[in-house]
Amino acid sequence: MKGTFITVEGIDGAGKSSFLPWIEHRLRAGGREVVLTREPGGTAVGERLRDILLHGALSADAEALLMFAARKEHIDAVILPALAAGTWVLCDRFTDATFAYQGAGRGVDERRLAALEHWIQRGLQPDHTILFDLPVEVARARSALVRRPDRFESEQADFFTRVRAGYLRRAASDPKRVSVIDASRTPDGVEAQLAALDFLR
């Protein structure tokens, strides 16, 4: 039986990474086998590309191409084998992030991104996506408390405003797949929203 593919999305500082362990535990408590992974990354090659993407000097087009290069390795080496084995895959970011960050944020033509998506993913899409949504000013304040910012986290507020809008457009275009979580609530409030999702019950 094919596994289930869940992705978790949101602008930097929205809190998605803080709740990934909770989501993983919830799935395991329901008797599922789970692989927790991330993008960019998830493989040895992907992690090397992640370092370049987070800290290198890249054009917007090169950034998008490297994202899909890392994704191709990730899909072939991790995601598809796990799904074929009946395992649930829980991934920190996937293609929605590319359309939000490189598309809406950087201005890369979404038709080019869609062509790359079709070529690299060959129809693979998440079964469920959890989008942690938060006002940009709140997310930036949270990020500033965590660690030294990477190349993305160092962007200005208007960049994240575009990214957030890109995410919300994606959610509105596919409401059956994308569940929007109000990440401005207390941790208990966020957990309550997550617990109400059908696939996490």
Per-residue pLDDT of the chain (201 residues; tens, 9 = 90+): 799 999 999 999 999 999 999 999 999 999 999 999 999 999 999 999 999 999 999 999 999 999 999 999 999 999 999 999 999 999 999 999 999 999 999 999 999 999 999 999 999 999 999 999 999 999 988 877 666 777 888 888 999 999 999 999 999 999 999 999 999 999 999 999 999 999 998
* pLDDT score for 147: 63
* pLDDT score for 43: 98
Diameter over CA atoms, the chain: 45
The answer to whether 166 touches 45, Cβ cutoff 8 Å, is: no
Q: How far apart are CA 65 and CA 105, in angstroms?
A: 15
* pLDDT score for 151: 83
A 10 A CB-CB count for 51 gives 12
* pLDDT score for 122: 97
Taken in order of first residue, the domains within the chain and their CATH numbers are 5-200 (3.40.50.300)
A 10 A CB-CB count for 55 gives 10
| Strand ranges for the chain from DSSP E | 5-10, 34-38, 88-92, 128-133, 178-182
A 10 A CB-CB count for 145 gives 7
Structure tokens at 140: 């930036």
Structure tokens at 186: 């207390």
CA dihedral of 178, 182, 184, 187, whole degrees rounded to 10: -90
Q: How far apart are CA 3 and CA 59, in angstroms?
A: 36
Q: How far apart are CA 128 and CA 177, in angstroms?
A: 5
